[in-house]
Amino acid sequence: MNDEIPETHPRYKSLVIRERLRDFMEKGIVVPEGLIAHGRGEAFDYIFGEASQDFALESEKAAISLLMLSKNPVITVNGNVAALSYKEIVELHNVTGIKVEINLFHRSDERIKKIAELFQREGLTEIYGIHADKEIPGLVHNRRFADGNGIYSADTVFIPLEDGDRAMSLKNMGKKVIAIDLNPFSRTSITADISIIDEITRTIKNFIKIYEELKNLNESELKEILNKFDNKKNKVDAINLICEKLRYWQTDQKPHL
Ligand code: PTJ
């Protein structure tokens, strides 16, 4: 698949991800709009130096703590998320028990079937959202369809890659929301209780490592991590880094963060 991209290329990982999204678009899993959405994320990642910054790692630690404290957490998966991270999401499910629900903006039975098969081939037996029997109040688009045993009844919903109004509707239902979005200004980043400003493939890999570090902590130790976490400060750090980087490129002053 990647034979023409030399591993020594300075932007190798980014080029491999682009190629992967194109391949999964040809398979009917990613929609063409998904490539545009990825481009928006990539532009932010370029500024962040294509690396998980401290503010990202802190939010990832808080997110794992919240997932471990939750009784019924669900990760919601769209075409881009499935294409980029299905293997790691199954691994995350295997270690944390998080449920996996397919929820698509450009919803079709055919895409749902293809995405479900991807996860099934990786060994995931229970996939939610195939027969979405509930609607999230306040939404008019396709993301309103939810599984009564999945997102609809979850206490924590983990939303990667979505700039939308669903996060607010889920919060209005009393749920905790964790988001992954490289864009700190997206509606989902603004609304989430924990806004992870990091690239999805790095985030899910970090999650598995962080889980290993935290898995023996008790409830009060996990709660302490959450209490110390300041989502607003983290978002401000991300925005400050963007400003510093832009200034650096203007003036050659090294960014502090
Ligand atoms: O598969 P579907 O039909 O559900 O459609 C999926 C897309 C992604 C097309 C749909 O959800 C969409 O239009 O998303 P948005 O509203 O463009 O939001 C996607 C957000 O993800 C943007 O704010 C990007 O900054 C962010 N993003 C894109 N790629 C990455 C990312 N964040 C982290 N890692 C990425 N690789």
pLDDT above 60 (res 1) = no
Q: Does residue 199 sit within a domain?
A: yes
Residue 9 confidence (pLDDT): 83
Structural domain includes residue 1: no
* Residue 17, SS3 per DSSP: helix
In a domain, 58, yes or no: yes
**Residue 229 within a domain:** yes
Residue with CA at minimum distance from ligand 1 atom 24: 41
- Which among 35, 72, 67 is positioned nearest to 147, based on CA atoms? 72
Find the mean pLDDT for residues 233-251: 93
Which CATH number is 127's domain given? Answer: 3.40.50.12640
Q: Provide the domain limits for residue 197.
A: 54-238
Q: What is the pTM of this model?
A: 0.95
Task: Point out the ligand 1 atom lying closest to the alpha carbon of residue 103.
Answer: 4
Residue 128 lies in a domain: yes
Q: Which atom of ligand 1 is found nearest the CA of 84?
A: 36
Please give the share of the chain, as a percent, with pLDDT higher than 70: 96
* Ligand 1 proximity of 181 Cβ (cutoff 6 Å): yes
Average pLDDT over residues 50-57: 97
Answer yes or no: is 35 within a domain: no
The verdict on residue 160 lying in a domain is yes
- Ligand 1 atom at minimum distance from 183 CA: 25
With a 6 Å cutoff on the Cβ, whether 179 touches ligand 1 is no
Q: How many domains does the chain have?
A: 1
74 within a domain of the structure (yes/no): yes
Question: Could you tell me if the CB of 39 is within 6 A of ligand 1?
Answer: no
Helix (H) or strand (E) holding 145: strand 145-146
Q: What is the DSSP string of 160-184?
A: ES--SSHHHHHHHTT-EEEEE-S-T
Q: Is 38 in the pocket of ligand 1 (CB under 6 A)?
A: yes
